[in-house]
Structure 1
Amino acid sequence: MRQRWGSAAIVALGVTLGLATVAHGAVTTSPGLAKADDASESKVENGSEAKPVNGAVTKSANAAESKPVDGGGTMPDNGGGQATWTGKDAASYWTPKRMAAAIAPAHGRPQPRHSVVPPEAEALATNPGAASKLSPVARHFDGIASVGVLFSVDGNSKAHHCTASVVHSPRGNLILTAGHCNPGSRAAFVPQYTSGAATQPYGVWAIDAVYDYPNRGTTGAGADLDFAFATVLPDDQGRAIEDVTGGNTLATTPGYQNDVTVVGYPSVRNDPQDRAVRCDTRTTRLSGTRQLRMDCGGFYGGTSGSPWLTDFDEGTGTGRIVGLIGGLNGGGPKGPHSDRTSYSPYFGPEILALYNRATQDG
């Protein structure tokens, strides 16, 4: 039977660690929870869902010998047979040319015809009164510095496959995404990703370690644990990412009904414009679960990990994170029009314990 928790008071996490009172050992949960087998049903880019990491932590510096990557080259090696992965490496690997190649459609495959705007939204042009009958629709915009995309090098060098956001932390080096988005041992985070740009506005940052629950999943009780933190290495100037982009404050979910701003990046195969989308909407409870639901069109595959922000400040581009796209089925219902409804795990003691672990180790 799924363990349930009452609604917690808002606990904003500042620069100290004392707010997360769950014991360090609580990060490990009971084995045997189910996990979705079909990544295409989630809001992660098709086929890129990673397996849970052993012990809840993966250090990219511990990766085995260098592996061949795009074009037959190898990742940097420290001379002792151990692969290295630094911010400079990430920026050098994910060049504008390589990013463009990664998001290009396969040979002979036509560009998707659908865009981020659901068809019924077009009815508003001729029938403005229909607006009250429709769910909100995400709109393209230029993005915000504290939210970006994940690129992975391990396996196939694919398009950006998930969304992540910078979270305020003592060292200023933490990002948050969905647990099923585990990016692998060689991955990069690109804040306010700009498709086709010669240089990214806030650079390309190497991910160092990933922290998640080994038993997280996208079905059953594991769906309530579908979130993960990752530490990001400093850039070549020694700066922490939060010092460059700013960060959102992690908070426990105050209840099932919240006014939120949701920012994400649909994958290019789902949204040919390859731009950030934003929606301002209100959450409700996903019936029969300990999860939140929000209705807004346009959150296709690639938006897993998108933060749900309350008290969003237009000036700083930051707010308090009380949820993210993840949870049941990888963040949304199955079947047609799944982009119009998104889910989020309820943020309670479990995510605070994981945050505590990530900030102590990282």
Structure 2
Amino acid sequence: MSRRTSDVEATPHRRRVVIGALFCVAAVLVVAGLASTGRISGHPRSRGTGDASRGYHLPDPAEGDRIAASLLGAAPAGPSSELSSSPVPTESSSQVEPLPASDPLVAAPIAATPAIGALLHVAEGEDPEHFCTASVVRSPNRNLVVTAAHCVFGDAFASDIAFAPGYHDGVMPYGAWVLSRIDVDPRWVADRDPDYDVAFLQVRRPGTDDRIETITGAEQVDFDSAPARPARLIGYPDDEDQPIGCQNTTSAYSDTQLRFDCAGFPNGTSGGPMLTEIDPANGRGTVIGVIGGYQEGGDDLTSYSSYFGPDIAALYDRARTAEVSPTT
């Protein structure tokens, strides 16, 4: 059951009643019609170039400029020093924050952190609304974000999207960042294989040459790690303006899927990180998964992630080394 994106996407998976063959035929026709316009994923078709069969897309820069200006209500934001009165911690330590299991195992509101934020739909002429979660991760270009593939590719690559790190209460304290490149595994494009429900996004802030990592800091990302690790799961519900979190130990659902048992992660939390090895000096840690994978996220009690193994590592390597100018 897909519970982690907008209700537009989730509703077909949440229905539990089978009425009969005639209804099923009608439902198939409705779904086919929605898929033809990109409504199943909740996104319009994207403007830009790229090659879906190879799993990458380069959004139209002019569209990105429009999105950023729309979010800010005027010209794109000024110098990065003007973005937030709350400095991002730069210190680090050799300590690791203990992550005991939450009691009860139910997600609860937590404070926003700079490197984790919300993805927003910014359709022309409509109010923006957040629909998924994403995290800044380390990369040579210092401009990379990770989320779930189903957040950015339904029947086509997504359009009208921006990333707001540290988002809370309708505020974007570290600016609005638009997409300059999307990378997903071609096997996700081919048939939405849940083992590849991960996407890496290169982002930029129009009107500047800022690199997001230098402004928000970045999480580490780890591959081929042990399946059982204490972790904090974080996401933005689509009807709330602050993140929620829960702590537990991850486990293997299969060789290609991680599971995280904790109730209360609703629609909108897709793409949220499973974060471990958190440094108490700066609040940053290591991403070992993102909400997605099996059932495109999970059910009312359990969240899943595609396992970050060799295939996701190869996707990360492709995305982090791709040459895209931050001002393009």
* 1:192 to partner: Cα distance: 1.1
| CA gap 1:348/1:289 in 2 versus in 1, 3 angstroms | closer
1:314 matched to which residue of 2?
Answer: 280
Amino acid at match of 1:153: V
Q: Cα deviation per residue 1:40-99 (whole Å; 9 max; x = unaligned)?
A: 7231122252699442111112xxxxxxxxxxxxxxxxxxxxx6134x5433212479xx
* 1:189 to partner: Cα distance: 0.2
Please state whether the residue corresponding to 1:41 is helix, strand or coil.
coil
Tell me which moved more, 134-143 or 158-167: 134-143
Please state whether the residue corresponding to 1:314 is helix, strand or coil.
coil
Residue of structure 2 aligned with 1:208, choices 180, 187, 192: 180
Structure 1's unaligned 5+ residue stretches are 1-39, 62-82, 98-131
Please state whether the residue corresponding to 1:175 is helix, strand or coil.
strand
Give aligned-pair identity as a percent: 33
Taking the aligned partners of 1:226 and 1:325, their CA distance within structure 2 comes to 9
* 1:349 to partner: Cα distance: 0.9
Q: Cα deviation per residue 1:121-167 (whole Å; 9 max; x = unaligned)?
A: xxxxxxxxxxx997512221221111001112358766211100001
Amino acid at match of 2:294: L
1:192 matched to which residue of 2?
Answer: 166
Residue of structure 2 aligned with 1:136, choices 99, 102, 105: 105
Kindly indicate whether the alpha-carbon contact (under 8 Å) linking 2:235 and 2:243 is maintained by their aligned counterparts in 1.
yes
Amino acid at match of 1:194: H
Taking the aligned partners of 2:5 and 2:293, their CA distance within structure 1 comes to 12
Please state whether the residue corresponding to 2:178 is helix, strand or coil.
strand
Amino acid at match of 1:312: I
| CA gap 1:138/1:202 in 2 versus in 1, 3 angstroms | same
Q: TM-score, normalised by structure 2?
A: 0.70
Taking the aligned partners of 1:315 and 1:96, their CA distance within structure 2 comes to 35
Please state whether the residue corresponding to 1:136 is helix, strand or coil.
coil
1:360 matches 2:321: yes
* 1:361 to partner: Cα distance: 1.6
Taking the aligned partners of 1:164 and 1:290, their CA distance within structure 2 comes to 21
Kindly indicate whether the alpha-carbon contact (under 8 Å) linking 2:55 and 2:185 is maintained by their aligned counterparts in 1.
yes
Q: TM-score, normalised by structure 1?
A: 0.64
Taking the aligned partners of 1:300 and 1:342, their CA distance within structure 2 comes to 10
Kindly indicate whether the alpha-carbon contact (under 8 Å) linking 2:170 and 2:241 is maintained by their aligned counterparts in 1.
no
Residue of structure 2 aligned with 1:276, choices 243, 256, 260: 243
Kindly indicate whether the alpha-carbon contact (under 8 Å) linking 2:67 and 2:122 is maintained by their aligned counterparts in 1.
no
Kindly indicate whether the alpha-carbon contact (under 8 Å) linking 1:143 and 1:276 is maintained by their aligned counterparts in 2.
yes
Kindly indicate whether the alpha-carbon contact (under 8 Å) linking 1:42 and 1:332 is maintained by their aligned counterparts in 2.
yes
Amino acid at match of 2:308: F
1:55 matches 2:54: yes
Taking the aligned partners of 2:142 and 2:307, their CA distance within structure 1 comes to 24
* 1:274 to partner: Cα distance: 2.5
Amino acid at match of 2:222: A
Residue of structure 1 aligned with 2:62, choices 67, 81, 84: 84
Number of residue-to-residue matches in the alignment: 254
Taking the aligned partners of 1:303 and 1:219, their CA distance within structure 2 comes to 22
| CA gap 1:140/1:218 in 2 versus in 1, 3 angstroms | farther
| CA gap 1:133/1:355 in 2 versus in 1, 3 angstroms | closer
1:69-148 correspondence to structure 2 within 5 Å: 84-86=62-64, 89-95=66-72, 136-148=105-117
| CA gap 1:185/1:137 in 2 versus in 1, 3 angstroms | same
Taking the aligned partners of 2:247 and 2:122, their CA distance within structure 1 comes to 33
Residue of structure 2 aligned with 1:258, choices 220, 226, 229: 229
State the Cα RMSD in Å: 2.8
| CA gap 1:289/1:142 in 2 versus in 1, 3 angstroms | same
Taking the aligned partners of 1:238 and 1:133, their CA distance within structure 2 comes to 41
Structure 2's unaligned 5+ residue stretches are 10-40, 46-50, 75-100, 324-328
Please state whether the residue corresponding to 2:246 is helix, strand or coil.
strand
Residue of structure 2 aligned with 1:241, choices 209, 212, 226: 212
Q: Cα deviation per residue 1:206-229 (whole Å; 9 max; x = unaligned)?
A: 111110013217988x11110000
Taking the aligned partners of 2:304 and 2:177, their CA distance within structure 1 comes to 28
1:182 matched to which residue of 2?
Answer: 152
2:260 matched to which residue of 1?
Answer: 294
1:344 matched to which residue of 2?
Answer: 305
2:138 matched to which residue of 1?
Answer: 168
